[in-house]
Amino acid sequence: MKNLDIDCIVLSYNSSKTIIETLNSIKSQTILPKVLIINDDFSDDETIMIIEKWISENQSQFICIKFIKSNIRNGSVKSLKNAFKHVKSNWVKPMAADDILENNYFESIRNKIIKHKFDILICNPKFIDIHSKLLNFDKSYYFDCLPILFNIGRPLLRYIIKFRMIIPSSTATFSTKVLNEIIDLRFKLIEDWPMWNIILKSNYRVMYCRSRLFKYRIQDQQVTSNPQDKLTKKWIQEDLKNFKHIYTERLNYFEKILYLLHNLFLLPILLLRPCKKKYTRLANGLISLKLIKLINPIYLKLNKLKNYYILK
C-alpha cells in the first residue's frame, strides 16, 4: 500500500498582501496536508504577524503546523531546504506565498498517487494577477506544448529550459526522497532551473497532468522578476551566471553542438538591439522548439533515455 500522506511547504518573504489567500486555499482543501510548514525568510513587512495570527485561528484544523522564522535572509533555496527538514510524509508540495491551490488539489494528487507510479507530478496552472483575476498567459509560457514535448523526451526539455523555463515548476508535487536530492544549495533564489536540470538528466519518473489545479500569480513585485534591493539583484546575477556555467559544463558533445547552432540562429536577432527584448524572447522559444524537434528523435535513439509519462 502506498503512503498517501502529503505535506505542504509555503515559502514567504514580504508576502503580506497575498499570504492569507495562499494559506486559506490550503485550509479549504477537501483533504488537508498532514504537516503544513511555513518558512519566512526574514520578512521586514507584516508577513510574520499575519502568519502568526492565521495559525492561532486555524491551528485546530491541522494535524501539525510548523512555522519557521529565519533570523537572517537566506534566499528561497536555503529556505526550502530548512523547511524540508520538518517534512514527515512521503510526498511534499512546495509553494510560494502568493500562489493558490484549487480546493481539490491534494485530493487529486492523492488519487494520482494511488493510480500511477511517478516521482514528480506537474499540472497546468491558471494565471492570476495581484487581485486574483484570471489572466490568459498560456501561450506566452508554452505549457500547451508540453504533451508533445514530453512524448519526444528529456533532452529536448533540458535544452529548452536553458533559454526559457517552459515547465510549470511551481505546480510540482514531489516524492520526499526526490526533492531532498534535487535542492541545489549553490543557488540562492533561482531554484527551478537547477532543479529541473537535475531532474531532466536523471531517470526520475515525471507525470504531466492537464488538469488546472493550481493558480500561479503574475505580479510586478515578484522577487526574482523585479528585485528591489542590492542583495537580491546580486543573488540573481550570481545564480544566472552559475546556472549557465553548470549547464554548459554538463552538456555532452551532441548537446553542445545544438547549443552552438541555437546561438548562431539567434545572432542576427541579437544584433538588432533596438527591438531586443520582445523579439529575442520570441526567438528563444520558437527556434529552440523547431530546431530540437527536428534533431531530437535521432538523439533519443542514440541515448535511449526514458520519456516522460503523460497523464491525460
Which of 77-81, 102-106, 140-144, 242-246 shows the lowest mean pLDDT across its residues? 140-144
Which of 1-5, 205-209, 289-293 shows the lowest mean pLDDT across its residues? 289-293
pLDDT at 222 (0 to 100):
56
Burial 85-114 (b: 16+ CB within 10 A, else e): ebbebbbbbbbbbbbbbbebbbebbbebbe
Cα angle 168-45-73, degrees, rounded to a multiple of 5: 65
Other beta carbons within 10 Å of 297: 13
pLDDT at 101 (0 to 100):
97
Cα angle 309-126-27, degrees, rounded to a multiple of 5: 95
Q: Residue 269: which pLDDT band, with cuts at 50, 70 and 90?
A: very low
Question: Cα separations (Å) of 302 from 93, 155, 176, 289, 296?
Answer: 35, 12, 32, 20, 10
pLDDT at 19 (0 to 100):
97
- Here the cell at position 3 is 503512503
Closest by CA position to 296, among listed 255, 256, 252, 244: 255
Pairwise CA distance, residues 236 & 242, whole Å: 10
Query: Which residues lie closer than 8 Å to 85 by C-beta, 6 or more apart?
Result: none
Packing angle, helices 19-27 and 47-58, rounded to 10: 20
pLDDT at 115 (0 to 100):
87
205: left (phi over 0), alpha (psi -120 to 50) or beta: beta
Domains of the chain (ranges, CATH numbers): 6-311 (3.90.550.10)
pLDDT, tens only, 148-206? 677 666 776 777 777 678 788 899 999 999 999 999 999 999 888 889 988 988 889 99
pLDDT at 96 (0 to 100):
96
Q: Residue 311: which pLDDT band, with cuts at 50, 70 and 90?
A: very low
Pairwise CA distance, residues 202 & 186, whole Å: 19
pLDDT at 240 (0 to 100):
79
pLDDT at 306 (0 to 100):
43
For all residues of the chain together, what is the average pLDDT?
A: 81
Give the position of cell 553542445.
256
pLDDT at 288 (0 to 100):
55
- Here the cell at position 82 is 530548512
Q: Which of 22-31, 258-267, 270-279 has the highest mean pLDDT?
A: 22-31
Beta strands in the chain (DSSP E): 6-12, 35-40, 64-69, 91-96, 100-101, 120-128, 134-135, 173-175, 206-217, 309-311
Which of 102-106, 262-266, 274-278 shows the lowest mean pLDDT across its residues? 274-278
Does the pLDDT at position 302 exceed 60?
no
Question: Cα separations (Å) of 176 from 7, 83, 88, 112?
Answer: 9, 12, 9, 16
> Within 13 Å of residue 280, how many CA atoms lie on the same side as its CB?
13
Pairwise CA distance, residues 77 & 234, whole Å: 15
Beta strands 35-40 and 120-128, pairing class: unpaired
pLDDT at 44 (0 to 100):
94
pLDDT at 8 (0 to 100):
98
φ and ψ of 69, to 5 deg = -110, 115
Q: Residue 270: which pLDDT band, with cuts at 50, 70 and 90?
A: very low
Pairwise CA distance, residues 48 & 44, whole Å: 9
pLDDT at 293 (0 to 100):
54
Which of 270 and 294 is assigned the larger pLDDT? 294
> Within 13 Å of residue 232, how many CA atoms lie on the same side as its CB?
13
